[in-house]
Amino acid sequence: MSASELAGKKAIVTGGGRGIGKAIAVAFAEHGADVAVIGRTAETLDGTAAEVRAKGRTAATKVADLTEVANIPDLFTELSAAIGGFDILVNSAGIQLTAPSLDVTEEDWDAILDANLKALFFCCQAGGRAFLEAGSGKIINLASTFSVVGFPEFAVYCASKGGVMQLTRALASEWAAHGVNVNAIAPAAVRTEMNAYLLDDENFLKGFLPAVPAGRVGQPSDIAGAAVFLASAASDFVHGHLLFVDGAYTAV
């Protein structure tokens, strides 16, 4: 794809201060888009915004807890005004819990589902309102290989990401006829701050890497290219798709 693939486009990226969300935000800027990022830490958001501006694009930031879903419409209105509208929404914010299922508490369950599924739905709703009115728009949700594959001690995370997959399909079936694309990316293990505790564990890697034919864990940049495709005109007839970026983990 060309460096101007997203020229003139405006994107909001949740979880844009670090990891996959940051990589996507910077990749969007590299391809010509202005980008607003939402996250919980001002310092990391400012770092992303600086990289976006270094690409010659407009950037905006907002510190927010998206599990406070009543605030989401106003957040999107504010950020849309800051960058001159928005055509693309990436829902990358989320959290992860690793624990034996017998040890999971109700509080654990609520925290994961609220962050990974409930907040994501209400972000989709806010984006959908704007995009349906405009007659076009791209929503990209971050799902997981664990949307379709189980893994020990990830029961709640798997449930949340399975929900993201089905939500993506349901919204696509509802909004495709109105010019709105809703798709999801399903990474395998990607080295980010959130899961460094696992990927720095030699015992985990000895058990996991043999199941990845590509022989390595992913990097945030591996996911960014898929997001650029799904945000671009090249994906205009792609609806409700779960795009695996997983080194063939789910192929075997």
Q: Report pTM.
A: 0.96
The per-residue pLDDT of the chain, averaged, comes to 96
Question: Which entry of 76, 86, 157, 244 is annotated as an active-site residue?
Answer: 157
* Closest by CA position to 56, among listed 33, 77, 79: 33
Q: Any catalytic annotation for residue 157?
A: yes
Read off φ and ψ for residue 157, nearest 5 degrees.
-60, -45
Lowest mean pLDDT among 18-32, 197-211, 234-248: 197-211
- Per-residue pLDDT at 136 exceeds 70: yes
β-bridge pairing 10-14 and 34-39: parallel
Place of tokens 């949740």: 14
Burial class (CB in 10 A: 0-12, 13-18, 19+), 134: middle
Place of tokens 């001159």: 84
| Residue 108 confidence (pLDDT) | 98
State pLDDT tens for residues 179-196.
999 999 999 999 998 888
Residues 8, 222: Cα–Cα separation, whole Å: 24
| Residue 4 confidence (pLDDT) | 81
Mean pLDDT of 123-134: 98
Mean pLDDT of 137-159: 97
Tokens of 192: 């980010």
Burial class (CB in 10 A: 0-12, 13-18, 19+), 39: buried
CB 83 within 8 A of CB 36: yes
State pLDDT tens for residues 19-56.
999 999 999 999 999 999 999 999 999 999 999 999 99
- Per-residue CA distances from 250 to 23, 36, 145, 247 (Å): 23, 32, 7, 8
10-243 CATH:
3.40.50.720
Cβ count within 10 A of residue 68:
12
- Per-residue pLDDT at 1 exceeds 70: no
Tokens of 67: 């599990």
Per domain, the residue ranges of the chain are: 10-243
